[in-house]
Amino acid sequence: MIIGDPYQIAIHIEQIDVLCSPSGMFNFIINDTLVPGKGVTMDLYMVISELKESLKDGMHKNLRDVGNIPLSDLDFSEGEQENFIPLSSELSDYGFIFWLGFDGDEDRLIYTTNYEKTFQEERYPRGTIEKLIRDLPLAEDLVMKKTGAFINTELKS
């Protein structure tokens, strides 16, 4: 299942099993790449819930616009960067950590795929990341359909 626009930014979710809760794959699709691109037994309940909750908490803070500060001038080594929303520590086990900031009418998505050794940035129209996360279905609304060797994830009706 893909939520969002895979040509801009999207989220890929596939429920593979039900262990303690729905489990499977969770990836962002950024620049034609699945991020983190590994892990088939992620706890989807934890990943989705924490992503939605961290966004909700961050949007309630009185964040200032971070402006056009170059990525190279930002320091994420000491944890939470001022005026950025840290999103989903659940994916940090896979080396993927990301933050959301704003520059006028743009979202600034800053992320690492290698345990904070290097950072990358993508910019989207303001509200893109918030809408993407809010559009995510809850894990309990996912239904795994198996037909022979095929597994498909759908939403409960």
Q: Does the pLDDT of residue 151 top 80, yes or no?
A: yes
- Name, in order, each residue with C-beta under 8 angstroms of 64's C-beta and a sequence gap of 6 or more: 83
Q: Could you tell me how many helices (H) and strands (E) the chain has, helices first?
A: 2, 11
**Overall average pLDDT of the 49-54 stretch:** 94
Q: Is the pTM of this model over 0.85?
A: yes
Angular region, 148: left φ>0, alpha ψ -120 to 50, beta rest: left
* Mean per-residue pLDDT, 85-99: 87
pLDDT in tens, 20-41: 889 999 999 999 999 988 888 8
Categorize the per-residue pLDDT at 79 as very low, low, confident or very high, splitting at 50, 70 and 90: low
User: How much is the average pLDDT of 100-106?
Assistant: 96
114 pLDDT above the threshold of 80 = yes
Exposure letters 135-151 (e unless 16+ CB within 10 A, then b): ebbebeebebeeeeeee
At residue 82 the predicted structure's pLDDT band, cuts being 50, 70 and 90, is: confident
For the segment 117-137, the average pLDDT, to the nearest whole number, is: 96
